[in-house]
């Protein structure tokens, strides 16, 4: 069977599921952000694949470009939060930072 749209969508779904799994199991905040990057990449693969096989335009490419730009913003703010967390709590484990817990 020659490679077509479903193959690319399957790769995207795999990356997405791996990212969800990482976000549910990781305690380290930096590793959580890596899970987010996996999810965004899985979504991007879908955008570009559908753009290639169904739409034939560059609309999907533009959507993926905006996702990459927002991922850069998200990484900057997220890692700044991680550093502030490390400075204030001395840890990067998300389940030990529970000062607001009643």
How far apart are CB 102 and other proteins at their closest, in Å?
A: 22
Nearer to other proteins, 26 or 102 (CB): 26
How far apart are CB 101 and other proteins at their closest, in Å?
A: 18
Tokens of 50: 């559908």
> For residue 30, which of 82, 68, 72 has the smallest C-alpha distance?
82
Nearer to other proteins, 3 or 100 (CB): 3
Residues linked to residue 93 through DSSP beta bridges, in sequence order: 28
Nearer to other proteins, 90 or 98 (CB): 90
Cα dihedral 32, 35, 39, 45 in deg (nearest 10): 150
Q: Can you list the positions of beta strands (E) in the chain?
A: none
How far apart are CB 3 and other proteins at their closest, in Å?
A: 5
């Amino acid at each position: 069977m020659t490679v077509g749209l479903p193959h690319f969508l399957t790769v995207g779904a795999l990356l997405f599921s791996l990212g969800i799994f990482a976000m549910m199991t990781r305690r380290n905040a930096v590793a959580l952000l890596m899970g987010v990057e996996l999810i965004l990449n899985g979504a991007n693969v879908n955008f570009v694949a559908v753009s290639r096989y169904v739409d034939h335009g560059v609309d999907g490419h533009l959507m993926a470009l905006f996702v990459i730009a927002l991922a850069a913003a998200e990484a900057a703010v997220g890692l700044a939060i991680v550093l502030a967390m490390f400075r204030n709590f001395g840890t990067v484990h998300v389940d030990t930072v529970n000062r607001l817990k009643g």
